[in-house]
Chains A and B, each alone.
Chain A
Amino acid sequence: MHLDDRLFSDKKLYLPLLAAVLLLPWVPMGLAGPYVLRVATLTLVYMVLALGLNVVPGFTGLLDLGYVGFFGLGAYTAGLLTVHYQWSIWLVLPLAVMNGVFWGVLRGAPTLRLGDDYFAIVTFGFSELIILVIRNELWLTRGPMGVPGIARPDFCGAVLDQPWQAYYLILFFLLLVLWVVVRIRSSRLGRAWFAIREDEIAAECVGVNVANYKIIAFALSAAIGALAGAFYARWFRFVHPDMFKFWESILILCLIVFGGMGSISGALLGAFILIPLTEVLRIVLPDSLSNARYLLFGLLIVCMMRWRPAGLLPVEKE
């Protein structure tokens, strides 16, 4: 049985993992405590992103090079609504997700007939356009000044201002997203996606409505990206166009390539290893080298494709 199927059914697997992530904020770590918790929260954000991106290249086999567009869209939607109207995160977040779905479908609909490399280029161009609009429409987004002073997340009227509270909040979202993708993976919808991934024409011939199922994948993927963005904006309390550069898309892609495209546990493992690693590199390397740490990601992608294209936790071939 594949690891992905056991995530929610094998008690021996999920109980220790769940205990570990739940107890993390209470492990005494002295002065390093707040920092470790910050990195852990960031790692969970990237786990959500990796799961969301995985839906399109991993499940349907179409390379998405613009995932950061939805991350940025969610972050800016949530950030601006919060700054202007002081709404609760529980209202802002669904709105950000809906905005993500809207653009995800709008982007996806014209690309249905495109082959793999043209699809990749359109996704890339689309996300660059989103970020370009964010950077230039000062009346809406304040452009390169960024949006500072976004309120922290809240729950039942109380502000979640402790680091562990934000950690538990993103953990809740991660488990929600994880549950959704694991359930979908073994549903009729998931099987349709895998059929499209393996052979689109064959899938169409046996009656899979390729267009509909692709649109659902785009919508779900965009929704998850926007969700992560909305949380990120409320947690980091600042958004800026430079936070959503093309390299972020590649970093998220790197997470799922490393873990294994299409593999849910692989996406989690990829984020679990690589995100703390980037943070460690940022500290360990001198300034001149730390700017070039993406060099390792480039090399990692190339080496994975060369020697282990299915990733660390590959999806088994049926």
Chain B
Amino acid sequence: MLTAIFEQSSLFLQQLVNGITLGSIYALIAVGYTMVYGVIQLINFAHGEIYMLGAFLGFSLLSGFFGFGLPFGLAVAVSVVVCALAGVLLDIVAYRPLRRAPRLAALITAIGMSIFLQNLALLIWGGQIQSFPQHTIPPFLGEPALLLGDVVVSWLQVVILTTAIFLMLALHLIVHYSRIGRAMRAIAQDKTAASLMGVDVDRVVSYTFALGSGLGGAAGILVGLYYNAVYPTMGYFAGIKAFAAAVLGGIGSIPGAILGGGILGLAEVFGGGYISSSYSNGIAYAVMILVILVKPTGLFGRQQRDKA
């Protein structure tokens, strides 16, 4: 009797650990969606592809796909920086020319870029699932950091969680205590007024894309390591789940995206463990639809003003 309860609770705790890990990754991606939406009211569908790019860059730099290999830390840093630049480039090439066009045009462009990037990755790296070569990953990551009865917390999970928390804190400091962060918040409130006050809107939007895409790329590498699998369509499902997280938290709100990511990660792991694993993707869709229909502002979202 007692052992049964103990087994039950250790399964529960293990699921909790896995759920929090997954949730922190979703949160990292969701922040990218929510920041861009907050600043230019665009659902950047291609954000999932930036995350995929991060995973592939990490994989390529470690495994020597480009003809040279980098040490672990350097490879991660380079991938994150390249992802940030890719995000800025994406905005300049695809979205900036449409800033004054109808919103539908920008939305369709975002979908087009998402397909384009996904198939570009297919072309470069091929469609099969690739995994990181064993010798390129620091060996301690696979070992347990914490053992509580049957509950295992691996070093990789610890690294993912601390990285996520560290990056979120950094983001919080940037958004709330830096010049550029203040400009971002000003643009989110009223773009026209901000530009009249001398805020260089294009520059701030570029910074927003850089920050969001950098975090997305970091999430991509972490997930690539966590599941040890990298493939061109990985950005598609992760992107949708992260978007659902952003909607759940209230799109445009950074704390909302973090909370939403956490909830969605837990819901997916527990739903998959206790209800049905074949519908684990469905949970994200259902959450997304329900939130939009019942409370479109999400948990922390601001009321959007209707056009008068």
Contacts and interface: CB of A to CB of B under 8 A. Distances in A.
Interface stretch (A18-26, A115-123, A169-177, A217-225): A115-123
Interface in B106-124: 106-109, 111-120, 122-123
A33 interface: no
A318 B243 CA distance: 38
Interface string B13-25: 0000000000000
A302 B112 contact: yes
A125 B289 CA distance: 7
Contact of A125 (B103, B106, B285): B285
Contact of A136 (B97, B105, B279): B279
B108 A305 contact: yes
Contacts of B105: 305, 309
B115 A250 contact: yes
Interface residues of A, number: 43
B247 A305 contact: no
Nearest to B111: A250
Contact of A63 (B108, B126, B127): B108
Contacts of B276: 136
B275 interface: no
A61 B113 contact: no
Contacts, number: 120
Contacts of A253: 108, 111
B85 interface: no
B74 to A, nearest CB: 30
A104 B118 CA distance: 30
B108 A121 contact: no
A129 B282 CA distance: 6
Given A117-B107, A118-B292, A250-B115, A295 B285 contact: no
The SS class assigned to the B binding surface is: helix
B104 interface: yes
A299 interface: yes
B116 A298 contact: yes
A110 interface: yes
B279 A306 contact: no
Nearest to B289: A125
A63 B106 CA distance: 12
A126 B109 contact: no
Interface residues of B, number: 47
A61 B106 CA distance: 14
Interface in A111-148: 111, 114-118, 120-122, 125-126, 128-129, 132, 135-136
Interface in B282-308: 282, 285-286, 288-289, 292-293, 296, 304, 306-307
Contact of B115 (A61, A118, A301, A305): A301
A83 interface: no
B246 to A, nearest CB: 11
Contacts of B296: 114, 118
Interface centre among A132, A253, A292, A299 (most CB of B within 10 A): A292
A247 B232 CA distance: 14
Contacts of A247: 115
B113 A298 contact: yes
Interface string B71-113: 0000000000000000000000010011001111111110111
B43 A298 contact: no
Nearest to A138: B278
Contact of B112 (A116, A120, A291, A300): A300
Given A114-B296, A117-B103, A292 B119 contact: yes
Given A116-B107, A295-B123, A301-B115, A132 B285 contact: yes
Given A126-B289, A129-B282, A288-B126, A305 B103 contact: no
Contact of A110 (B104, B122, B126, B293): B293
Interface centre among A111, A114, A120, A289 (most CB of B within 10 A): A120
A129 B307 contact: no
A132 B282 contact: yes
B154 interface: no
Contacts of A300: 112
A299 B292 CA distance: 30
A201 B306 CA distance: 10
A257 B288 contact: no
A128 B285 contact: yes
Given A61-B104, A136-B279, A297 B127 contact: no
A141 to B, nearest CB: 13
B282 A305 contact: no
A294 interface: yes
Contacts of A195: none
B136 interface: no
Given A132-B279, A201-B307, A257 B115 contact: no
A121 B43 contact: yes
Interface in B230-282: 236, 240, 243, 247, 276, 278-279, 281-282
Q: Which 5 A-B pairs have the closest CB atoms?
A: A298-B116, A301-B112, A298-B115, A295-B119, A302-B112
Interface of B: 41, 43, 94, 97-98, 101-109, 111-120, 122-123, 126-127, 236, 240, 243, 247, 276, 278-279, 281-282, 285-286, 288-289, 292-293, 296, 304, 306-307
21 contacts: A63-B104, A110-B293, A114-B296, A115-B304, A121-B288, A125-B288, A129-B289, A136-B279, A247-B115, A288-B126, A293-B119, A298-B113, A298-B114, A298-B118, A301-B108, A301-B115, A302-B94, A302-B109, A306-B97, A306-B98, A309-B105
Interface of A: 57, 61, 63, 65, 110-111, 114-118, 120-122, 125-126, 128-129, 132, 135-136, 201, 246-247, 250, 253, 257, 288-289, 291-295, 297-302, 305-306, 309
